[in-house]
Amino acid sequence: MFASIRLLTTVFVLALFAITISLAAKPDRVNTAAGLAAWDQVYSVLVSPRCINCHTATNYPQQGDDRHRHFANVVRGPEGFGVPGLNCMSCHQESNADSTGVPGGPTWHLAPLSMQWQDVNDRPLSSAAVCRAVTDRSKNEDMDGPSLLKHHAEADLVLWAWNPGRRPDGTMRTLPPISHQEFVAATRTWVEAGTPCPKGR
């Protein structure tokens, strides 16, 4: 009699344990899938011209929706701010100059080479490669998930992408494919899922 009760109790405990494990595991799988879907949205912004034009792998920034090489022989310089006689701030001021068509924002500069999101032939890197770069703390100025979220939500030059001002011909520059609010929400989902990256090169 006692043996049967002990057997039943053991089976019940094991079943309870299995159910708990299965319930605990399911949300993780959902989170990872949701995180990867959210990353797709984040990636769509990062490789849009307003962002990727200053995340080059070369010695120069790009400009325009066709991402052509910056005119006037502008170069990166040692710190990404240009060189003494031809600094980013030689033209780019603290805010957009809509009357002359020159974009601007605080401390206008190129992203460091460690945060390049394109190859040396100016082709955007894959989603997996950009994700690896963005989440590599040895490359991203030691930002963890919450820091990345804060960066996407608050950094001046990130915010500029949604307020890029007018081109020299007076027309508005194009915006990233989703709103800043959607971009931050996608980043939050991705961070909460543990910043998962797609597989592949």
Partner 1 sequence: MAKYRLTVNGSEKTVDVDPSTPLLWVLREELKLTGTKYGCGISACGACTVHVDGVATRSCVVPVSLIGKREIVTIEGVASSPLGRAVQHAWVEKDVVQCGYCQSGQIMSAVALLKGTPSPTDKDVEESMGGNLCRCATYVRIREAIASASRQIKGAA
Residues at the contact surface with partner 1, assessed by CB under 8 A: 71-75, 77, 83-87, 89-91, 93-95, 97-102, 104, 168
CB of 9 or CB of 100, closer to partner 1: 100
> In residues, how long is the chain?
201
For residue 5, give the 3-state DSSP assignment: helix
Give the strand pairing for 62-63 and 68-69.
antiparallel
Structure-token match 């990404």, residue found: 80
Q: How far is the CB of 77 from partner 1 (least distance, A)?
A: 7
Q: How far is the CB of 89 from partner 1 (least distance, A)?
A: 5
* CA pair distance 192, 171, nearest whole angstrom: 38
Q: How far is the CB of 36 from partner 1 (least distance, A)?
A: 42
Q: Which helix (H) or strand (E) holds 86?
A: strand 86-87
Closest CA to 127 of 179, 199, 181: 199
Q: How far is the CB of 177 from partner 1 (least distance, A)?
A: 29
CB of 10 or CB of 100, closer to partner 1: 100
CB of 45 or CB of 74, closer to partner 1: 74
